[in-house]
Amino acid sequence: ETMIDQIAAGEVVERPASVVKELVENALDAGATRIEIATAGGGKSLLRVSDNGGGIAVTDLPLAIRRHCTSKLSDNLDNIQTLGFRGEALPSIGSVARLTLRSRHRESGADAHEIRVQNGQVEAPRPAALSQGTVVEVRDLFYSVPARLKFLKGEKAESSAITDVVRRMAIAFPQVRFELTGEDRTPTVFEATSDPLARIAAVVGKEFGENALQLDALREGVELTGFAGLPTFNRGNALFQFFYVNGRPVRDKSLLSAIRGAYADVVARDRHPVAVLFLTLDPRDVDVNVHPAKADVRFRDPGLVRGLVVGAIRALLADSGI
């Protein structure tokens, strides 16, 4: 099964940042309110995600790393309440890295246990020390798949990609405390807050928090909220454009292009305005499961979404005399 898992891993695990995304999603699904991410060597030598969520019972530890085993099965793909549902991430990671899962189940009382996987080989669970939640440790990503290792970028670039993933998740979950640390970075802490704008300001910058224009628009059942930066508050890349669909971080070319369109007259073509957009729509009108890991979306009516975004931002700019 190792080969199959290694191939499946290519779908879910592209680089250290994709591992971080999967592990943070698992922590959120487990109800964590504190998530710590530690990295070394750009995440290539070490990734460790610790949470204070509900944990995994010792009898479930071996299942957590078995392919297509998920505790989150929903009978309706249109109505998935959890971030994960495929049961692919942990087995995939275990097939291309040294994986340790340490957990203490909230309901089963006293003991914590850990389980290790190397090269797809699973060891029996053994007692471990842990006060709460789950710690997932991933060492030497792709050590067994040199062809994949070769495609990773340098430590700095992989580190930045991890920071980007954490920022995107942090904006979606302001009530969760995130801490990103490691010998390869300056520590980042986003304290838990009930105010979404406070979290956005913590991630994007105080100036954005103070000056951004607030979006609130509705068209044919699609709701747009969030914040659009002033044209002068622009950047050399699109790293500070954040998109969420029904609360999940997504990537989408049509949304990037909608932002460009909205600001076309007031921001130079090679500059990128800052924006945080939350779209809320009927789950049946959007497919967020196009790709297992990439967070791509497909709208049933892309023209409607584009029109809504461009129209709402332009109206705000006009109202502000821009």
Q: Which residue, 26 or 241, has its beta carbon nearer to Mg ion?
A: 26
Q: Contact with ligand ADP (CB under 6 A): which of 20, 46, 58, 90?
A: 90
Q: For Mg ion, which stretch binds (CB under 5 A), given 86-94, 134-142, 179-187, 192-200?
A: 86-94
Q: From the CB of 6, what's the least distance to ligand ADP, in Å?
A: 15
8 Å CB contact between 188 and 161: no
Q: Contact between 72 and ligand ADP (CB under 6 A)? A: yes
Per-residue CA distances from 69 to 62, 123, 138, 175, 293 (Å): 10, 17, 19, 29, 17
| Cα 126 from Cα 174, distance rounded (Å) | 35
Pick from Mg ion, ligand ADP, none: which does 201 bind, CB < 5 to 8 A by kind? none
| Cα 310 from Cα 314, distance rounded (Å) | 6
Q: From the CB of 86, what's the least distance to ligand ADP, in Å?
A: 4
Q: Which residue, 100 or 134, has its beta carbon nearer to ligand ADP?
A: 134
For the range 115-119, what are the long-range contacts, defined as Cβ-Cβ under 8 Å and sequence gap of 24 or more? 115/61, 115/62, 115/64, 115/65, 117/65, 118/94, 119/2, 119/95, 119/144
Q: Contact between 18 and ligand ADP (CB under 6 A)? A: no
| Cα 318 from Cα 316, distance rounded (Å) | 5
Q: Which residue, 67 or 185, has its beta carbon nearer to ligand ADP?
A: 67
Query: How is residue 79 annotated by DSSP?
Result: G
Q: For ligand ADP, which stretch binds (CB under 6 A), given 64-72, 254-262, 296-304, 311-319?
A: 64-72
Pick from ligand ADP, Mg ion, none: which does 90 bind, CB < 5 to 8 A by kind? ligand ADP
- Element containing residue 189 per DSSP (H, E): strand 188-190
Q: Which residue, 4 or 218, has its beta carbon nearer to ligand ADP?
A: 4
